[in-house]
Copies of this chain bind each other. A is one copy, B any other.
Amino acid sequence: MAMRGVDVQVAASKLNRLSHPGLPTTFATMDKQTKGTRKDRAAVKADEVTVDLIAFVVAVNDNEPCVLTIGQADTLPSGPFALEHRSLQSGLRGWVEQQTGHPLGYIEQLYTFADRDRIGSGRRQRAISISYLALTRKEQASGSPKCGWRSWYEYFPWEDHRSGTPPMLLDVLRPRLIEWANSVGDAAMRRERRQRAAMAFGFDDRHWNEELTLQRYELVYEAGLVQEAGSGRDTTRASLVPSKPMVADHRRIVATGIARLRSKIKYRPVVFELMPQSFTLLQLQRTVEALAGRLINKPNFRRLIEQQELVEETGETSVDTGGRPARLYRFRHAVLDETPIVGTKLPVARG
C-alpha cells in the first residue's frame, strides 16, 4: 500500500492533478505533503477559485457503450458552477442540456479534482473540477448541432474483452510496459512496476479484472504510452499505444466513470437507466456485457435476473431476434422500494 500510494502520487502529479480517485495515499506520502501547509486559518484569505462541473454521459447503442462529447475535439460537456445554479446537479444538467440538447436522467457524483496553479488572466488561481457520471438513452438526443456519441473503447481499446483478450494488449501494451518497468535503475522498483502492470492487466496467468480501468489508465499514462490533447508532455516518440486522446484530463474522468459503472452494475440495478422501456433478456445481457467489456454466461445471467426479480414480463414478444421470438420484459420499479441489494461480505450473526 505504501509503495502504491507513492506511485499513484507520481502518476497524478504528471497529470498536474494531485487529487485522484484511485488508490488512496497512506503514511508513505504524508511527510512530504504536510510540509509547508501550516498557516493560521484566519490569515488565509479566500483565494481565487473557479469550480467547473464536468459530465461523463453514458448511453449504450447497438451493444456499444458510448460517451457524449462536444465539439470536434474529444471533450466532455462542462461549464463553470455559477451563482444562478440552484445546486451542483442542476448546474451540471443545465450545461449538458445547453451544450448537447440532451436532458439527463440518472446522475451520480464521481470525483472532485484540483487543478494545480492554473494561470488565469494574469494572476494565479486554482481550478476545481467536480465530475459526474450520467446514464441516459441515446434516442433522447434532440440532435444538437455539435455533439456526438463515441464508443468509449476508442479511448480505451484495451478495455474491450468481449471478443477475447485484445491482441494489442499482449502485442503492444505488455512489451511497452515491461520496457517501462525495466527502464528504472532500482531493482526493487523494477519488480514493483512489473507487478503493478501484471495485476492491473492480468498478465502472467492472472485474471482480467474489468473494474481496474482507472488503475490501467494511470499505468499507461505514467508509462508515457498515451498522450492527451493540450498537454505539454514531450512523449512524441512513436512509443504511443494506439488509442484516441481526449482534451486535458477528460480521459481520466472517463476512466474513473467506467470503473465506477462497472462496479456499480453489480450491486445496483442501474443498467435499466440505459435500457428502453421494454427489452429482451438478451438485449439486457448485451448491454451489461458492453459496459463490463466481457461476455457473460447466458443461463446464469438469466437466473440471476430472475431470482432477484428485477424484471417482469410485458406479455409481448419480440420477433426481430433472428431465431425464436423472445419475451419482452420491463424493469420492476418496485424493487427500488424493496430491500436494497448491497453486497454483504462479512459473516454477520443473524438474529
Q: Which residues of A contact B (CB under 8 A)?
A: 1-4, 18-19, 21, 24-27, 30, 33-34, 36-39, 41, 44, 46-51, 79-91, 93-95, 97-99, 103-109, 111-114, 116-117, 124, 126, 128, 130, 192, 195-196, 199, 206-207, 209, 211-212, 263, 265-267, 273, 288, 292, 294-297, 300-301, 303-304, 333, 336-340, 342-349
Contacts and interface: CB of A to CB of B under 8 A. Distances in A.
* Stoichiometry, copies per complex: 2
A88 B19 contact: yes
A154 B299 CA distance: 49
A345 B268 CA distance: 10
A207 B339 contact: yes
A1 B333 contact: yes
A114 B128 contact: no
A68 to B, nearest CB: 16
A39 B345 contact: no
A44 B83 CA distance: 9
A53 to B, nearest CB: 10
Contact of A112 (B46, B82, B112, B343): B112
A199 B87 contact: no
Given A81-B114, A87-B116, A124-B83, A296 B33 contact: no
Contact of A345 (B26, B83, B343): B343
A86 B33 contact: yes
Contacts of A51: 49, 51, 126, 128
B338 A199 contact: yes
A199 B337 contact: yes
Contacts of A288: 346
A339 B34 CA distance: 31
A226 to B, nearest CB: 22
B97 A38 contact: yes
Contact of A296 (B2, B105, B114, B348): B348
Instruction: Name, among A36, A99, A267, A337, the residue most crowded by chain B CB atoms within 10 Å (CB to CB).
Output: A337
Given A109-B112, A292-B346, A347-B301, A36 B81 contact: no
